[in-house]
Amino acid sequence: MFVTEKELLESGYRKYPGETIDVFYDIKKCVHAGECVRGNGDVFKVNRKPWIIADNASTEEVALVVDSCPSGALKYIRKEEMDMEFLIDSNRFYLEDANGELTAEITFTRPNDDFFIIDHTGVNDSLRGQGVAQALVKAVVDKARAENMKIIPLCPFAKLEFEKKEEYADIWRR
């Protein structure tokens, strides 16, 4: 059964976000069996704040350790589990809710035939922490690659994505 981030947070879990996987922990459910710390001390370390750093191991390693938790105090949501089909306009990718309200978007301009400028990324609070903004940036990257273009990421979020992801280096016009 797939559980949403909202459901986990509403039921008492605390979120520890990562690049590709978010870990959730509920201290009230924990029986302190220690499977997490023994499973991967780089991700789970009780004397550190935050005590869970999801990016200190691969997505698969984190999921394996969380799955070994006997009490259910640990849960995770993989960000690639989100299957999003973006709507497309000439200079933006976006999502709408069931009522047609805008919930996420990335906008870009095309000053010439050589590059795009990403100027805005926005995600509604209801979708935050689910990898939507990262997926929007990737959609523009995929479009630029398909059209043999470069990207100037002026939007602060997009710029951070380009700085963090080596796989975007070939498309980044600095």
Q: Buried (b) or exposed (e) across 147-164, using 16+ Cβ within 10 A?
A: eebebbbebebbbebbee
Give the containing element (helix H, strand E) for 163. Answer: helix 156-164
* 109-161: pLDDT as tens digits: 999 999 999 999 999 887 776 678 888 999 999 999 999 999 999 999 999 99
Q: How many CA atoms lie within 13 A of 89 on its CB side?
A: 10
Domains observed in the chain: 5-80 (3.30.70.20), 87-171 (3.40.630.30)
On whether the pTM is more than 0.85, the answer is no
* 63-117: pLDDT as tens digits: 899 989 999 999 988 776 455 678 999 899 999 887 888 999 999 999 999 999 9
Q: Is the link from the previous residue into 156 a cis peptide, with omega within 30 of 0?
A: no
